[in-house]
Every structure is written in structure tokens, then in C-alpha cells.
Amino acid sequence: MANELLSTIKIHIVSLDENIESIFYSVFNQTDSKYKNISVEHRNIAHCDPFDCIVSSANSFGQMDGGIDGVLSYMLCKLDNLDYIGQKVRKIIADEYYGEQPVGTCILVQTDNKKYPYLAHSPTMSIPKNVSKTFNAYYAFKSVLGSVVNHNKNSDISDMSKITSILTTTFCTGCGDMSKKTALTQMKKAFDIVYDGIGDTWFDANDFIIDLDETLL
């Protein structure tokens, strides 16, 4: 069921790295139909077309005043309030996570923005720091995909409110200092797990852990 829902969602990855397309194609096998709706582009996220959901993969406290989050705050600001979306994010974090949202979780926030109706906030770090030797890109992106799939499965959600497209940057590659290839490899692993599942035995779990270890390139 998850793979059927995930296969209908367009995922677009953007980066300011001019080599991002060659790195992407070295990780994602485009002859595999499973990845047919995942695309990449060398582009500033602020200059992208409308998407149902835009991703913030920053810190656990919802502080959205720097880096990509600073750009997202500007894109999603309301009137003269540049911290409009950050305030909404921190309110949910305070209510649901007592002020600190763990890595590996995701909240979907309605933005009141027609171009990007939803923000997926999924921390890759508690505070800005080097996370290059972690699996945080995997855990964070997996939580985004899972949250969007679960959102779309909700019978109370109208077709107009379903998320059919996601716009994101590469995870952990800013102050997290993870290489683009490692980040994309972990993001691919997250997609594979949501799409295919892990299996229900200890052998399956062990194989999964071994495969995950290999994403630290």
C-alpha cells in the first residue's frame, strides 16, 4: 500500500551544487521505474515552481532564521512577519514535543501559502553541527516520506488536500557537512524502505542495518 501511494508522489531535489545532477544519477538508477517520479535540478529553491509540500530539514527547535530555513521563512512569510512559518512550527513543537523535536520525526504544517501549501519540518540535527558521520539524512527523509504517505492515507483528507509533490534540498549538506553523495545515498535508502519495507524477521533487520552502514560513504 505504501509503495502505491509513494509512487504517485513527485519528489524534486534541488541544490546550488553545479555537480548535483551527476551525483544524483550516480546514486539513483533511472532505469528502475521505482524512481521515475524523483528528479533533480541545479537551482535555487527560492526560484522553483509551486509544489504541494516544501521541506525544512534543519534543527530540533524550529529556529528558521538561517541557511535554507532563512530562505524558506522568506518564501513563506505573511505580510511583514518573516518568522510567520517559524512561529507555527515552534508552536507545534512545543505542543507535541515539549519544545524539542527529535531527529527522525516530521510534522506537516499548513503554511497558508498557495504556492507551497504544506511545510514538512524534519530535523537533521538538534542544533547546527557536523552530522556527516550519522544516519540523520536517512532518518529525517524517511520521516518526511512516511508522514506524507500517512497524510494521504487519511480518509478525512480530501483529494484537494493530498500532497502529490515534494520540493526538497539535499539533507545534512549545509552546516551538517555531509557529502552530497552520502546524503543522496541515505535519502535513496529512506525511499527504498518506505517503498519496499524491511521484512518481519531478525534476519531482515540485520540485513537492513548492514545496508544502512554502507550508506556512510
For the chain, give the number of residues. 217
CATH number of the domain residue 208 falls in:
3.40.220.10
For the chain, the domain total comes to 1
Which band of pLDDT confidence, cut at 50, 70 and 90, is reported for residue 158?
confident
Q: What is the dihedral of CA 158, 159, 160, 166, to 10 degrees?
A: 120
Region 128-147: mean pLDDT is 97
> In whole angstroms, what is the distance from residue 168 CA to residue 117 CA?
14
Number of alpha carbons in the 13 Å side-chain half-sphere of residue 178: 29
Output the pLDDT for position 2. 62
Domain that holds residue 73: 2-213
Percent of the chain exceeding pLDDT 90 equals 88
How does pLDDT run across 176-212, given as a tens digit for each residue? Answer: 999 999 999 999 999 999 999 998 999 999 999 999 9
Output the pLDDT for position 62. 97
Which band of pLDDT confidence, cut at 50, 70 and 90, is reported for residue 160?
confident
How does pLDDT run across 49-99, given as a tens digit for each residue? Answer: 999 999 999 899 999 999 999 999 999 999 889 999 999 999 999 999 999
